[in-house]
Amino acid sequence: MSGGEKSQGSGLVELVVIVAVALGLALGIQALLVKPYRIPSESMVPTLEVGQRVLVNRIGKRFSDPSVGDVVVFHPPAGSESDSCGNRNIGEDQPCDRPTVDRADVNFIKRVVAGPGDTIAVRNGRVIRNGREVDEPYISDTCDGDVGRGCNLPEAIRVPAGHWFMMGDNRGESDDSRFWGPVPDDWVIGGAFATYWPPKRIGVL
């Protein structure tokens, strides 16, 4: 084998190694730092549309808790698909106050509307936190004038320590903590901080 052939062979091996290392770093960064997430439903309209893609900060969760108002990705309680409130019957006028003990394997994205120790009720789809109606310019109007499912839950409950109450911005079309309870801190994956698809909706949340 000539020197030129050896050089070409070494160059090819080096290129393969570089590509493999770069791919490994990219996957590592995604797994540890930032995770892309596709919006699967209408529950966060108008803030996030179906099919829109967001970036989720995973490392930030390791150093600080979510804040009320954050949009976060998390594991809901087991039974969230069937609105199971800890396998208990609750009053029709109150949100679910306690989740099931097991978490589901699926990921949800919602907005944090109340934190540990807060009281929360719902009136016309709007959050009443600690006795005061919250200014929520980002929500849809699907609950305005509606007395249907989840739009009016006037009997306040208290969020347990170490838990977060999640609701979708599209209040009339969202399955959320109102029906299956607050989310334990350990089940929160991270905060969504930016949108990157489609290009016309690129921006910071």
Taking only the tens place, the pLDDT of each residue in 123-135 is: 999 999 999 999 9
The answer, yes or no, to whether the previous bond of 198 is cis (omega within 30 of 0) is yes
Pair (57, 14) in one structural domain: no
Which DSSP state fits 103? B
Same domain, 7 and 72: no
Give the three-state DSSP class for 6. Answer: helix
Looking at the predicted structure, is the pLDDT value of residue 3 above 60? no
Domain count within the chain:
2
**141-199 pLDDT, tens per residue?**
888 766 667 899 999 999 999 999 999 999 999 999 999 999 999 999 999 999 988 99
Q: What is the pLDDT of residue 133?
A: 97
Are residue 67 and residue 5 in the same domain, yes or no? Answer: no
What's the pLDDT at 27?
47
Specify whether the CB–CB gap between 196 and 53 falls below 8 A.
Answer: yes
Catalytically active residues, by annotation: 43, 110
Residue type, 33: L
* Whether residue 2 sits in one domain with residue 88: no
The one-letter code for the residue type at 10 is S
Same domain, 26 and 127: no
Q: What is the CATH number of the domain that holds 44?
A: 2.10.109.10
Judged by phi (left if over 0) then psi (alpha if -120 to 50, else beta), residue 190 lies in left
Bridge partners of 133? 128
- Kind and range of the H or E element at 7? helix 3-32
Give the residue numbers spanning the domain of 42.
Answer: 36-204
Could you tell me if 150 and 184 lie in one domain?
yes
Instruction: Please count the CA atoms within 13 angstroms of the CA of 65 that sit on its side-chain side.
Output: 14
Give the whole-angstrom CA distance, residue 187 versus residue 56.
14
Predicted local confidence at residue 119, as pLDDT: 98
CA gap 201, 189 in Å, rounded: 23
Q: Quick one: 99 and 170 in the same domain?
A: yes
Query: Over the stretch 67-82, which tens digit does the pLDDT of each residue have?
Result: 999 999 999 998 787 7
> 60 and 1, same structural domain?
no
Instruction: Tell me: do 27 and 50 sit in the same domain.
Output: no
Assess whether 28 and 53 both reside in one domain.
no
Q: What is the pLDDT of residues 14-52, one digit of tens each?
A: 666 555 444 544 444 555 567 889 999 999 999 999 999
Given a contact cutoff of 8 angstroms between Cβ atoms, the answer to whether 93 and 26 are in contact is no
**Residue at 175: amino acid letter:** D
The reported pLDDT for the residue numbered 21 is: 45
Residue 165 token pair: 């109450």
Q: Which residue has the higher pLDDT, 6 or 201?
A: 201
pTM across the whole model:
0.81
Shared domain check, 88 and 178: yes
How far is C-alpha 47 from the geometric centre of its chain's CA atoms? 13
What single-letter amino acid sits at 131? G
- State the Cα–Cα distance between residues 94 and 88, nearest whole angstrom: 13
Regarding whether 197 and 100 lie in a shared domain, the answer is yes
